[in-house]
Amino acid sequence: MIAREYVSLPGGGLRQVYSIERTDGSVALGDYRAWLASRAARCACGAVCRGSGRTCGAPECISRLERC
Ligand SMILES: [Zn+2]
């Protein structure tokens, strides 16, 4: 399980990050969306799949799926 946190950006925005405590006790921060993307299912073209689908949603990728 990871802890989700927000980091304030210089421009006043917020960035969602996650923190993981390493075995040596130090805390690592990572970009939460990048973490999600790294775990997400991938389309044949390499893009992250949308929703629960098996493609990124591009028409050519959907037609490729139907041909299989
Ligand atoms: Zn695709």
Confidence (pTM): 0.44
pLDDT of 68 above 70: no
pLDDT of 66 above 70: yes
Q: What is the DSSP string of the chain?
A: --EEEEEE-TTS-EEEEEEEE-TTS-EEEEEHHHHHHHHS-B-TTSSBPPTTSSS-S-HHHHHHHHH-
CA 17 to centroid of ligand 1, rounded, Å? 26
CA 14 to centroid of ligand 1, rounded, Å? 29
4-61 confidence digits (pLDDT tens): 888 898 999 998 888 888 899 998 888 888 887 778 888 889 888 887 788 989 999 9
CA 46 to centroid of ligand 1, rounded, Å? 6
Residues with CB under 5 A from ligand 1 (ion): 43, 45, 47, 56, 58, 61
